[in-house]
Amino acid sequence: MEFIFATNNLNKVKEINNALQGNYTICSLKDAGILIDIPEPYNTLEDNAREKAVTIYQMTGKNCFSEDTGLEVDALNGAPGVRSARYAGDQANSTDNMEKLLHELSASTNRNARFRTVICMILEGKKLFFEGICNGTILRERRGDEGFGYDPIFIPEGSLKTFAQMDTNEKNAFSHRKKALDKMITYLNSRYAR
């Protein structure tokens, strides 16, 4: 069974492919020949995930899914959350975003945070949502070169390493995205597996 994964983020494609282990096939927007960047204009992960999936379903009529992820920091009342990609400004890159976050948290001893992923899958025209959460803490400095986004400053609960010090297999043992995907796969298996 094949799905279009509505993303241009190759790190996300790598993580999802690792998690799927070949049971379902995904193709990225680039693989599907869809060369657009879908905006994320809404105030919730759910609405942005829905927007991306619906856009691709309307263009292709094929089974597809999208995901939106935010880093929710307790001491910042859940920020940057849905604004994680643009935390330091519309043109900000990951380094800018991490620097802003570390600055905002510099006086805080409460370093608790979580990544939250919402997947919206459109299967035979029907929308379904799956959520995955990974609790952890924000470091005071960056560690590691793997991964992407805020990975170098986030240590998941139960680990001594940041996500950026892990390979994809290790990250997927903890990851928010993998947890949401596992729920989606459980649903698909219950519906289609013989």
Helices in 41-175 by DSSP H: which ranges? 45-60, 94-104, 168-172
DSSP class of residue 153?
A: G
Which segment (22-30, 64-72, 121-129, 186-194) binds ligand IMP by CB under 6 A? 64-72
Q: Is 167 marked active-site?
A: no
Spatial distance between the Cα atoms of 88 and 90, rounded to a whole number of angstroms: 7
Distance between first and last Cα of the chain: 13
Closer to ligand IMP by Cβ: residue 159 or 193: 159
Q: Tally the residues of the chain.
A: 194
If DSSP codes are grouped into helix, strand and coil, which group holds residue 109?
coil
Which segment (19-27, 30-38, 50-58, 65-73) binds ligand IMP by CB under 6 A? 65-73
Name the residue number minimizing CB distance to ligand IMP: 149
Which of 9, 18, 60, 168 is in the footprint of ligand IMP by CB under 6 A? 9
If DSSP codes are grouped into helix, strand and coil, which group holds residue 69?
strand
| Given the residues 31, 47, 68, 167, the one annotated as active site | 68
Q: Record the tokens describing residue 164, joined without a space.
A: 């950026």
Closer to ligand IMP by Cβ: residue 116 or 122: 116
Positions 138 through 177 that interact with ligand IMP (CB under 6 A): 147-151, 163, 177
DSSP class of residue 18?
A: H
Binding residues (CB under 6 A) for ligand IMP: these are: 9, 40, 68-69, 71, 84-85, 94, 97, 115, 147-151, 163, 177
- Positions marked active-site: 68
